[in-house]
Structure 1
């Protein structure tokens, strides 16, 4: 069976461009969910999360501007 192929050009004409406010709202939602996932990971795997924080701190200490 062959799946129907939609041309990307047709899809772009049907969808109206996203406004700046919509893009910011979607980005804010994504960042909230990302922070929530990071917090959950820290609660579930505290030792691994602590090690990751230590590695990040070491990277920041050795980073040269």
Structure 2
């Protein structure tokens, strides 16, 4: 999800996401929790990162704190 006007017409790539949600699978969970999350934290516009575990019906939401971390 984007919060920037620059992304409104985007059809394939959003450059200024404020929310990213991932559905976890056993084969990709380590990547999404590790390297992807590390890279996503570098996106200045990102406010929330949501991980959805469909197998265990668990949703985790990571959001920036007051210090931007």
TM-score after normalising by structure 2: 0.25
Q: More relative contact order in 1 or in 2 (CA 8 Å, sep 6+)?
A: 2
Q: Relative to total residues, which structure has the larger helix share, 1 or 2?
A: 1
Q: Which has the larger radius of gyration?
A: 1
Q: Relative to total residues, which structure has the larger strand share, 1 or 2?
A: 2
TM-score after normalising by structure 1: 0.26
